[in-house]
Structure 1
Amino acid sequence: MRTALKLAVMSFCMLIAANTQAQIPNLAKCTRSANLLACIDQDGNAYSVNTVGSTIYLRGFEAIGKRYWAQTSSRYGQLTFFTGIASDGEAWVGYNQRVGWTTINRFSSSGGSSGKFTCSRLSGC
């Protein structure tokens, strides 16, 4: 699976799992306002998260592949659908479903990647 897709899906899962930098200090350095979170990690990857109502806008830069990406997520109760695109033309779709403290994640991309993984607030992804 492409790095940008992994970063986008994992970034979204981190939001769902409610991890903060205080709990995971080596993950990324972040700046935050009321609706915007902007982060950069020690490898030069960067992303921002903007929330407007039940819609989440993710944008980022993948340092290794030197590509930009954007993802939009819309929440409907316990179900969140997302779509994304990268500067090299790769596109992806998927959904997250919350069941208690667990999140079930499914996705597929135009690059041929697809998968399913589960995240828990207690055990991670």
Structure 2
Amino acid sequence: MLNAATLVRKPMRNTLKPALIMLSLLVAADAMAQVPSLAKCTRSANLLACVDADGNAYSVNTAGSTIYLRGFEVAGKRYWAQTSSRYGQLTFFTGIASDGETWVGYNRRVGWTTINRFSSSGGSSARFTCSRIAGC
């Protein structure tokens, strides 16, 4: 025998699903409208190469738990490279740019939170925490 709670839950669930899907599509459409131009990318099995409207370019290559990033930044007119290695929930990265700047850092996932830290030879350093719910 069905009780009143069961009769209310099923129509509510059937109404809520399409509403949430529509809301997410509206948010995605609004976000796309605010982005003036997206990067044009080409992809293969483990390589992604992109160029944006300003001429900045980057590529991402994966090999096991290692990620290789390479790029060109128009504003600073410099090439850069970064290598990241993942060990469980911990990822270490190091990078170098054509103007001699170097950087090191890590990020660590703890549940839905990511703790990030980096330091560069140019004097920049930061420690910040990001959450899937609250953002950074």
> Is TM > 0.5 for Structure 1 vs Structure 2?
yes
Q: Aligned residue for 1:36?
A: 47
- The structure whose residues are more often strand, as a share, is 1
| In 2: Cα distance, 1:39 partner to 1:82 partner | 21
CA positional deviation for 1:121: 3.3
**Letter of the 1:101 counterpart:** W
CA shift for structure 1 position 39: 1.4
Q: CA deviation at 1:40?
A: 1.5
Q: How does 1:103-118 map to 2 (within 5 A)?
A: 103-118=114-129
Question: Pairwise mapping of residues 69-80 of structure 1 onto structure 2 (< 5 A)?
Answer: 69-80=80-91
Counterpart amino acid of residue 29 in structure 1: K
* Displacement of 1:28: 2.2
Question: 5+ unaligned residues in a row in structure 2: which ranges?
Answer: 1-27
TM-score where L is the length of structure 2: 0.69
- Pair 1:98 & 2:109 matched: yes
Question: What is the aligned-residue RMSD (CA, Å)?
Answer: 1.7
Question: Which entry has the higher C-alpha Rg, 1 or 2?
Answer: 2
Q: Structure 1 residues 50, 85: CA separation in 2 closer, same or farther (over 3 Å shift)?
A: same
Distance 2:51 2:129 in 1: 25
In structure 2, distance between residues paired with 1:72 and 1:58: 6
Q: Partner amino acid for 1:60?
A: G
Match of 1:14 in 2: none
**Matched residue, 1:61:** 72
TM superposition shift of 1:123: 4.3
Q: Give the aligned partner of residue 87 of structure 1.
A: 98
Which structure ranks higher in relative contact order (CA pairs < 8 Å, sequence separation ≥ 6)? 1
SS in 2 for 1:31: strand
More helix by share: 2
Same amino acid, percent of matched pairs: 85
Q: How many residues of Structure 1 are paired with residues of Structure 2 in the alignment?
A: 103
Q: Distance in 2 between matches of 1:122 and 1:39?
A: 28
